[in-house]
A and B are shown apart, each in its own frame.
Chain A
Amino acid sequence: MREIILIAIAAIFVENFVLSKFLGICPFLGVSKKTSTAVGMGGAIIFVITLSSAITWFIYEYMLKPNDLTYLRTIAFILVIAALVQLVETVMKKFMPPLYRALGIYLPLITTNCAVLGAALLIIEREYTFLKAVVFGFASAVGFTLALVLFSGVRERIETNDIPPAFRGLPITLIAAALVSVAFFGFQGLFGI
């Protein structure tokens, strides 16, 4: 039990997907400055990553490993993720149209989000059990959302500042991200992790 809690805390703070492992940067940098959109995006990602962690774990343990086909994991995983995102999109369109419209372009982007495939690959690399795999996936996505929401707030503030022309847009966003990343770096060594 203790190990599971440690995995979760580490995934959210110490090895934050965005600020420490650089997984999921595109939506992180490009997310709208509106915190509500960030939360919606984060929610979708949490859903997708948690599900994909579970499904890819099964496929690896019961289909690829026993048949010595582990080299097919990249293909299998990415296809599963693509199908999953498609499914989420269809379901959302039908049952939650306003959310679907709000997320719009970012939904299909989840497929090429390093974070989703990254989580699946890390789980395999670390040889987690099913329970740990799902917890890790969920917690990593929560960490991602946390970074996303925090950052949308930071960007909101930056908007009103006087920024030198060369730094407007992407550069200042990156430098702000650097500062948030430094803040999270302080979590290293938490609980002796």
Chain B
Amino acid sequence: MARSDKKALSVLTSGFMKENPVLKLVLGTCPTLAVTTMARNGIGMGIAATFVLLGSNIVISLIRKIVPDKVRIPVFITVIAGFTTIADMLLHAFLPDVYKELGIYIPLIVVNCIIFARAEMFASKNGVGMSILDALGMGAGFTIALLLMGSVREILGAGTWMGIPVTKNLVDPAVIMILPPGGFLAFGFIVAAIQKLSVLKVRNKEIAGGCDMNCAGCAAAVDGGDKQ
């Protein structure tokens, strides 16, 4: 029993750092760059995406045995789209400020590679309990990455953090950080920092190959896992 406990823990925590969906697996880059103009928006998106991820992982894990392979992809898409729409409606009704800030990127959660990849590679092959842990882990990792990006961009670009002035009154902020180029810059430097800190040389080689490998993983997921 100790072994399955350890497995559960590793499933939960791998999403934080070792297999962080954004910073290591390079999935879900669109929202990472788009909504991180403020730390608060990053958190909002992270939570919304985690909600969708959780819902879809649970449902897909529950029905995994009765879904024929042929319609696997449309079923996954429908489930994910369903939860995305629910998240959209709930945000609109209960958190209108967040809804306005995140705008079009809320429905775009449905094409967030992270969710589809986890559905294909984990939820469709594991029980509900594990799938929940996986969703929470990956969701947390995603949110952490967004928070990091959002914080860097907000502090450097507006001098505030979560709306609280930090350096605003001391130094003129570098507005470019909250503009599109700043998104690329922040992401680039953060990944560079992580690559530097990463002890695993193997990881370096994989990422050095560019997005190819991981997008291939995502594509393989979409295509039907054959190439995996």
A interface residues with partner B (beta carbon < 8 Å): 19-27, 29-30, 32, 71-75, 78-79, 82, 105-106, 108-109, 111-114, 116-118, 121-122, 125, 165-175, 177-179, 181-182, 185
Cα distance A117–B214 when bound, in Å? 21
A78–chain B nearest beta-carbon distance, Å: 5
Residues 187-228 of chain B, each 1 if its beta carbon lies under 8 Å from chain A, else 0: 111011101100000001001111110111011101100010
Report which residue of B184, B185, B191 has the largest number of chain A beta carbons within 10 angstroms of its beta carbon: B184
By beta carbon, the residue of chain A nearest B29 is A25
Cα distance A188–B149 when bound, in Å? 25
A29–chain B nearest beta-carbon distance, Å: 5
Q: Are A175 and B184 in contact (CB under 8 A)?
A: yes
Query: Can you sample 17 A-B contacts with CB below 8 Å?
Result: A21-B180, A22-B183, A23-B30, A25-B30, A29-B26, A30-B26, A30-B214, A71-B85, A71-B88, A117-B111, A118-B108, A170-B188, A170-B210, A174-B191, A175-B189, A178-B181, A179-B181
Q: Are B211 and A20 in contact (CB under 8 A)?
A: no
A115–chain B nearest beta-carbon distance, Å: 9
**Among A75, A174, A185, contact of B188 (Cβ-Cβ < 8 Å):** A174
**Among A19, A32, A106, A174, contact of B187 (Cβ-Cβ < 8 Å):** A174
By beta carbon, the residue of chain B nearest A168 is B208
* Chain B contact patch, size range: 35 or more
In the assembled complex, B121 has its CB within 8 A of some CB on chain A: no
**Among A23, A78, A117, A173, contact of B210 (Cβ-Cβ < 8 Å):** A173
Q: Are A79 and B219 in contact (CB under 8 A)?
A: no
Cα distance A36–B110 when bound, in Å? 30
Q: Are B223 and A114 in contact (CB under 8 A)?
A: no
* 16 further A-B pairs in the complex, CB-CB below 8 A; given A118-B104, A125-B104, A170-B191: A19-B180, A26-B30, A79-B77, A79-B81, A105-B223, A112-B222, A118-B108, A121-B107, A166-B196, A169-B207, A171-B192, A172-B188, A175-B184, A175-B188, A178-B184, A185-B180
Cα distance A145–B27 when bound, in Å? 21
Q: If the complex has contacts A114-B30, A174-B191, are A26 and B85 also in contact, measured as CB distance less than 8 A?
A: no
Residues of B within 8 A of A118 (CB): 104, 108
Q: Are B210 and A29 in contact (CB under 8 A)?
A: yes
Binding site secondary structure of chain A = helix
Cα distance A22–B182 when bound, in Å? 12
Q: Are B192 and A112 in contact (CB under 8 A)?
A: no
Q: Are A105 and B220 in contact (CB under 8 A)?
A: yes
Q: Are A182 and B77 in contact (CB under 8 A)?
A: no
Q: Are A26 and B218 in contact (CB under 8 A)?
A: yes
Residues of B within 8 A of A165 (CB): 195-196, 204
B interface residues with partner A (beta carbon < 8 Å): 26-27, 29-30, 33-34, 73-74, 77-78, 81-82, 84-85, 88-89, 104, 107-108, 110-113, 116, 176, 179-185, 187-189, 191-193, 195-196, 204, 207-212, 214-216, 218-220, 222-223, 227
By beta carbon, the residue of chain A nearest B212 is A30
Q: If the complex has contacts A20-B180, A23-B30, A105-B219, are A75 and B82 also in contact, measured as CB distance less than 8 A?
A: yes
Q: Are A25 and B215 in contact (CB under 8 A)?
A: no
By beta carbon, the residue of chain A nearest B206 is A169
Q: Are A78 and B185 in contact (CB under 8 A)?
A: no
Cα distance A78–B83 when bound, in Å? 13
**Among A73, A113, A168, A175, contact of B111 (Cβ-Cβ < 8 Å):** A113
Q: Are B195 and A108 in contact (CB under 8 A)?
A: no
A150–chain B nearest beta-carbon distance, Å: 14
Q: Are B211 and A74 in contact (CB under 8 A)?
A: no
Residues of B within 8 A of A72 (CB): 85
By beta carbon, the residue of chain A nearest B88 is A74
Residues of A within 8 A of B34 (CB): 21-23
A90–chain B nearest beta-carbon distance, Å: 13
Residues of B within 8 A of A178 (CB): 181-185, 188
Residues of B within 8 A of A174 (CB): 184-185, 187-188, 191
